[in-house]
Amino acid sequence: MNFVDRDVVRELGERFDPLSADYLLDPYPFLSRAREIAPAFYCDAIRHWVITRHADIKGIFRNPPSFSAQNANSPLRPACPMASKALEEGGWKAIPTLANVDPPEHTRVRKLANTAFAPKRVAEMEPFIRSLVDRFCEERFRGGRVDLIRELAWDLPVLVLFKILGVPDSDVESIKTGSWNRIIFIYGRPDDDEQVRAAQGMAAFWRYAEALVAARLKKPENDFTSALAHAVDPDGVGLTPQQTTTVILNLLFAGHETTTGLLGNAFRRLLADRQAWQEIVDDPALIPNAVEEILRLDSSVIAWRRHAMADVNVGGVDIPAHSNLLLMLASGNRDPDVFDDPDRLDIRRPNARENLSFGVGAHLCLGAPLARMQATIAIEVLSRRLRNLRLVENEPLRFAPNVSFRGPLALHVAWDA
């Protein structure tokens, strides 16, 4: 890298703030420029190295000895003393268990989680998801105009997850509130007061998961929580109640917020491209690849974290040991070295599935098949029932203020009766 390049890269890192209003609204112009300028740069605002290119991100995911997942769930802004106190007093006891542990412990826990989240359990959800989307269409899509997030994407994934975990439907509001607190606390930049409030909410979220696990340990039912709480490895060793609660707590967040975002992004992009929407209406067989293309073009998880265990080199850039890395999945997903004309929606794109949105390697998203199934069914049902569905024009979009999770908080759509 020559002298001028170094200055440009330094300026990039000094100016970039992944929580700025402009970036939250549309991160793609910045990511495109950053990817062109540097494969890696240090961002002062969040004290992370930002990684921009597909091959490097994939290589990092595939190299757990050099790049630990230990920081995956750590607050971006470390907890202030009052927030730590609120967590402790609220009974928060989450410990590194699945997403933020490395092999060999990760391998053991993941096998137990895989057993409990068996493909059969996911496949059995298909008719339930279909009936739920049909029911929402009949009961909620009235009057020719709705907010698609509120009436479909907000609670479809959480109700599906509840069915899997064995949680009553009546708890939607409290779980959605718990998830919002978690987004702000871990992936946002709250001030002290906000952080304390979010910490109190997170502690309540923990107590909820703890009570659920305790109930299933006492009296198992036919659900994932019971299966995980009672699963044992070939040596007869299972998870402790604290570990099981941590996994359930994480699922009560990751298992729906991500899919709500995916549904919002999918309908936003497909409805904005009338030709793509019409093609799907005419030929629903295109939908699975269209879902992959949405995951690539506009993922609901735009960044994920790793920690450098030693001095490392990423794309020619030296990064010191113990640095935190922000892997820009959304940037890798539009890397022109992998995807032709990467900013264009192409529902027939042959390599759309090379997207990085579910991660790669050992930690590959546990819920990817479930998320894909929900998006496919939702698009199938709506494109069949509301063929002339369209976006309401000039409605401003808003996104949650955080570095990782992205989907419109509201999406107004209309149709002719």
| Amino acid at position 35, single letter | R
- In the three-class reduction of DSSP (H, G, I as helix; E, B as strand; rest coil), residue 135 is classed as helix
Interaction of residue 259 with ligand HEM, rule CB under 6 A: yes
Comparison of 120 and 219: residue with beta carbon closer to ligand HEM:
120
Contact between 201 and ligand HEM (CB under 6 A)? no
Closer of 83 and 411 to ligand HEM (Cβ): 411
61 touches ligand HEM (CB under 6 A): yes
Please give the C-alpha separations between residue 377 and each of 42, 194, 263, 390, 406, in angstroms, as whole numbers. 41, 37, 10, 18, 21
357 or 383: whose CB is closer to ligand HEM? 357
Separation in Å, CA 101 to CA 64, 98, 156: 10, 6, 30
Distance (Å, whole) CA 121 – CA 38: 43
| Encoded amino acid at 296, one letter | R
- Contact string 323-362 vs ligand HEM (x = CB under 6 A): ----------------------------------xxx---
CA 78 to chain centre: 21
Provide the 3-class DSSP secondary structure of residue 288. helix
Q: Which is nearer to ligand HEM, 132 or 301 (CB)?
A: 301
Interface segment toward ligand HEM; rule CB under 6 A; list 2-10, 183-191, 297-305, 333-341 = 297-305
User: Least CB distance from residue 256 to ligand HEM, whole Å?
Assistant: 7
Cβ-closest position to ligand HEM: 367
Q: How far is the CB of 363 from ligand HEM (least distance, A)?
A: 3
For 185-223, b/e burial (b = at least 16 CB within 10 A) is bbbbbbeeeebbbbbbbbbbbbbbbbebbeebeeeeeeb
Q: What is the DSSP string of 302-371?
A: --EEEEESS-EEETTEEE-TT-EEEE-HHHHTT-TTTSSSTTS--TT-TTGGG--TT--GGG--TTHHHH
The answer to whether 304 contacts ligand HEM (rule: CB under 6 A) is yes
Are 370 and 72 contacting, i.e. CB atoms less than 8 angstroms apart? Answer: no
Residue 365 touches ligand HEM, criterion: CB under 6 A: yes
What character string, x for contact with ligand HEM (CB under 6 A) and - otherwise, covers 216-255? ----------------------------------xx--xx
C-alpha pair distances (Å), 352 with each of 236, 292, 348: 41, 6, 8
75 binding ligand HEM? (CB under 6 A) = no
> What residues between 10 and 49 interact with ligand HEM by CB under 6 A?
none
* Total of residues contacting ligand HEM (CB under 6 A): 27
In this complex, which beta carbon is closest to ligand HEM, that of residue 16 or of residue 358?
358
Of 181 and 246, CB closest to ligand HEM: 246
- Candidates 27, 264, 332, 367: give the one binding ligand HEM (CB under 6 A): 367
Judged by CB under 6 A, does residue 363 bind ligand HEM?
Answer: yes
The answer to whether residue 262 forms part of the interface with ligand HEM (CB under 6 A) is yes
Buried b (16+ CB within 10 A) or exposed e, 15-29: ebbbbeeebbeebbe
User: Does position 67 bind ligand HEM by CB under 6 A?
Assistant: no
Q: What's the angle, vertex CA 269, arms to CA 348 and CA 350, rounded to 5? A: 15
Closest contact distance (angstroms) between CB of 248 and ligand HEM is 10
Q: Using CB under 6 A, which of 38, 199, 366, 381 touches ligand HEM? A: 366
Q: Does 69 bind ligand HEM (CB under 6 A)?
A: yes
CA-CA distance, 63 to 150, in Å (whole number)?
A: 40
What is residue 240's three-state secondary structure? coil
Closest distance of CB 235 from ligand HEM, Å: 20
Site residues (vs ligand HEM, CB under 6 A): 61, 69, 72, 98-99, 110, 161, 250-251, 254-255, 258-259, 262, 299-301, 304, 357-359, 363, 365-367, 370-371
